[in-house]
A and B are shown apart, each in its own frame.
Chain A
């Protein structure tokens, strides 16, 4: 009997919607600003426990101008501080069993992560904990890395990566605990497994100093047992898309169980800034822009005259009427590319930056046919294409804008809560349901 009651209680607890409690900010319509723990209530209100208080306040969604979640507050820019902890931001990249935790003292950064390593995109991309900053142009990071986990899959090191997406291109120095070796590891293409381009000559037992330098497109990796005499592991030329900068920092990954790594004497140089809310909104690698201005990030599964179908990062499939789609993009666009796309011409933006004016005729497997006034019907290989512009934007002024962690920015006529999801009424896509835990920011525009 007691066992049955316990089972019923457990089942009831499991059925309850998850409590989503995150650090953030509420800006109210009356101009009041509060920082603290922000969450959606099950009644669809926004609740905040302001910093320094224990009492939760409830606010109707209509009273809120902006709600920012999950520690995504913009922070002050600190371009050249050498302090190890002040402006470092922790970010779980990819799926981790639990969120990582960072502790920062004057000399040491402690990282407890529950992530699972670097992987191919089809297996979900990297699963690492990353402590980073934004870097514009040349820069360098040095740290003494101590991997405490004795499990042979524990890895840690320093890294410069193009985006905070799990399949981002990057250069890293990866320290393995089982071999006591460091390797210079590079992911040149987003869908690839990383490659080793340089490695230790003499393994270092215990703690090791690592240094990764970016000078133009050239990266240099070095290691040292004492932080004084350095040995170059390798060099690699890799042009990273550097529109608003790349990300420089420390990382660790393990087996999904708790993995503790210490980073001592962390020093970064170059034009750096703290990762802000805007940075956290990853630039989507692929997705669609609707004519309403809504951007939905995800994998493009189908584009033809009948349907545009996209699979979002939360694995939900969205089927769209092609008439409601303005752009389909297969790669993150550089600033120059974006400027060309925003001119409003229909056609195809190529990966090399060229723009082919014309009307999309067909996407057949790996080939895209476009009808151009100058060239007639032209076939282009899909892998050469960064974006297809199908129709001009007709941005509507809508009362709600919801920004998601995967880079989606959804404009909606209404927003309501349904258990652990926000239900957004998007004028072109219809009802779009998103997980509350993935919402970075909600803006009410009136």
Chain B
């Protein structure tokens, strides 16, 4: 009976513990998403299978690249994939891939 209760508690803890993971970002790793919209210096990225939207401001110091080459922000388009690196609380690198 006790063992069954323990199993139940462990299962519940696992379920509860895993719940918020989808909503959290590991800021120590680049974040992968698809450019959904661009408005000025801000971009909406679709993250994960559900393409959950997150917003991001491009900073003057953000290093922008497209297909591995240095690029301007104006070259970015909806539909491109992007890898975003956050460092010191701001967007340090915006690495996009896609066809113009």
A residues whose Cβ falls under 8 Å from a Cβ of B: 146-148, 150, 152, 177-181, 202-207, 225-226, 261-262
Contacts and interface: CB of A to CB of B under 8 A. Distances in A.
A70 B91 CA distance: 38
Contact of B55 (A147, A152, A179, A205): A205
B33 to A, nearest CB: 9
A150 B25 CA distance: 10
A226 B89 contact: no
Interface string B35-51: 00001111011000000
Contacts of B91: 205-206
B44 A207 contact: no
B46 to A, nearest CB: 11
A226 B42 CA distance: 7
Interface of B: 20, 23-25, 27-28, 31, 39-42, 44-45, 53-57, 59, 84, 86, 88-91
Interface of B is mostly: strand
A206 B88 CA distance: 9
A150 B27 contact: yes
Contacts of B31: 205
Contacts of B54: 180, 202-205
Contacts of B88: 146, 148
A204 B59 CA distance: 14
Contact of B56 (A152, A181, A205): A205
Contacts of A225: 42, 55-57
A146 B90 CA distance: 7
Contacts of A152: 24
B36 to A, nearest CB: 10
Contacts of A262: 89
B57 A206 contact: yes
A149 B10 CA distance: 31
Contacts of B45: 205
A177 B90 CA distance: 11
14 contacts: A146-B89, A150-B27, A181-B23, A202-B44, A204-B56, A205-B25, A205-B54, A205-B56, A205-B84, A206-B56, A206-B86, A206-B89, A225-B57, A226-B40
What 8 pairs between A and B have smallest CB-CB spacing? A146-B89, A148-B89, A225-B55, A205-B56, A150-B27, A203-B54, A148-B88, A206-B90
